[in-house]
């Protein structure tokens, strides 16, 4: 992709299995307020975190293709599960930069002072089973011990709005008591929804553990990539687009999305991505 051929006002495409990726979009808006953005939430088929890798690959190719044909200049895979399973596939398929959340999150975890040389990773079942975070962390430091834990109840908990209180505390304690006991330097919140549980998670693992929110690190990587390529949008006059597409239930997306995004969600359109003609890998 060469700089001359890129329209700098073209939007950044962001996709996720549902509303959770709005945590990443929020950070992109905060770090890059002049960029136009298009978000796709595959709300008809969420959750991805319990699906097999083949299904996640198929779904993510459809989402990526939908956004690509809208003329985006960069694609962000906000979903940890998709990043864990399909980053290579998506990067090979589309001739634009593709950024997932695993590399930025792993890199940030290595910024914690290494007292124990131990990092925790939490995520969906499919993300944890893939071992993607562990592999990425080991490319940065092969001596770091990585302790992983799937926390499937966290997603419905957050969508219900139960960020604290006795139920959130009991579930968090059950999942993380082992990590709290053996002590970890950093804990990667390897799922779009988990940053909303930061307070209760920090209480359980203790204040000496750095909580890593991949959303912030991903937004920084998006900014760095656009900057390096010379395709940041600096023209206020062309920065207005905040478009959302969903595959089911726009009303629910808006209602739940409010918990994830600090600005109002206005322009939401229902689409069908099952009908796209996608060549298999």
**Binding residues vs ligand DGL (CB under 6 A):** 16-18, 20, 46-49, 79-81, 123-124, 127, 155, 191-193
Exposed, middle or buried, 141 (CB in 10 Å: 0-12/13-18/19+)? middle
Min CB(34)–ligand DGL separation in Å: 26
Instruction: Supply the angle between the helices 198-205 and 166-182 in degrees, to the nearest 10.
Output: 40
Instruction: Supply 214's token pair.
Output: 């991949």
Quick one: 129 or 220, whose CB is closer to ligand DGL?
129
Q: Which of 24, 46, 79, 246 does the annotation list as catalytic?
A: 79
Rounded-to-5 percentages of helix, strand, coil across the chain: 45, 15, 40
Min CB(214)–ligand DGL separation in Å: 9
Quick one: 8 or 66, whose CB is closer to ligand DGL?
66
Backbone angles phi, psi at 197, to 5 degrees: -105, 15
Min CB(120)–ligand DGL separation in Å: 16
- Which residue in this structure is represented by tokens 């996640």? 56
Contact 124, 81 (CB under 8 A): yes
Q: Which of 191, 196, 219, 222 does the annotation list as catalytic?
A: 191
Q: Which residue's Cβ lies closest to ligand DGL?
A: 49
Min CB(99)–ligand DGL separation in Å: 14
- Which residue in this structure is represented by tokens 């950093």? 186
Contact 137, 146 (CB under 8 A): yes
- The terminus-to-terminus CA distance of the chain in angstroms comes to 21
Min CB(262)–ligand DGL separation in Å: 19
Instruction: Supply 227's token pair.
Output: 């900057």
Contact 52, 256 (CB under 8 A): no
- DSSP string computed for 60-121: HHHHHHHHHTTT-SEEEE--HHHHHHHHHHHHHHSSS-EE-SHHHHHHHHTTS--SS-EEEE
Quick one: 235 or 274, whose CB is closer to ligand DGL?
274
Q: Is 151 a catalytic residue?
A: no
Min CB(51)–ligand DGL separation in Å: 8
Quick one: 94 or 133, whose CB is closer to ligand DGL?
133
Supply the Cα-derived Rg of the chain in whole angstroms: 18
Quick one: 64 or 123, whose CB is closer to ligand DGL?
123
Quick one: 12 or 231, whose CB is closer to ligand DGL?
12
CA–CA separation, 7 and 29 (whole Å): 19
Give CA 121 to chain center in angstroms.
14
Catalytic residues: 79, 191
């Amino acid at each position: 992709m060469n700089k001359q051929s890129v329209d700098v006002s073209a939007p950044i495409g962001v996709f996720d299995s549902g509303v959770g990726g709005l945590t990443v979009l929020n950070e992109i808006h905060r770090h890059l307020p002049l960029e136009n953005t298009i978000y796709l939430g595959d709300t008809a088929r969420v959750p991805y975190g319990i699906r097999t890798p083949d299904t996640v690959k198929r779904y993510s190719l459809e989402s990526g293709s939908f956004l690509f044909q809208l003329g985006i200049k960069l694609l962000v895979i906000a979903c940890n599960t998709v990043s864990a399973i399909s980053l290579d596939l998506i990067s090979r398929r589309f001739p634009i930069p593709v950024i997932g959340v695993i590399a930025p999150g792993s890199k940030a975890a290595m910024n914690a002072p290494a007292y124990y040389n131990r990092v925790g990773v939490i995520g969906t079942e499919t993300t944890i089973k893939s071992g993607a975070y562990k592999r990425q962390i080991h490319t940065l430091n092969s001596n770091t011990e990585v302790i992983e834990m799937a926390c499937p109840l966290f997603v419905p908990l957050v969508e219900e709005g139960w960020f604290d209180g006795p139920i959130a505390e009991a579930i968090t304690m059950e999942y993380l008591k082992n990590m709290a006991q053996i002590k970890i330097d950093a804990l990667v919140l390897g799922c779009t929804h988990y940053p909303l549980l930061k307070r209760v998670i920090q209480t359980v693992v203790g204040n000496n553990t750095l909580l890593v929110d991949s959303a912030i690190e991903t937004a920084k990587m998006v900014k760095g990539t656009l900057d390096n390529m010379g395709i940041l949008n600096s023209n206020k006059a062309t920065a207005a687009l905040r478009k959302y597409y969903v595959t089911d239930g726009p009303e629910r997306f808006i209602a739940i999305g409010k918990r994830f995004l600090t600005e109002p969600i206005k322009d939401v359109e229902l689409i069908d991505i099952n009908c796209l003609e996608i060549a298999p890998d």
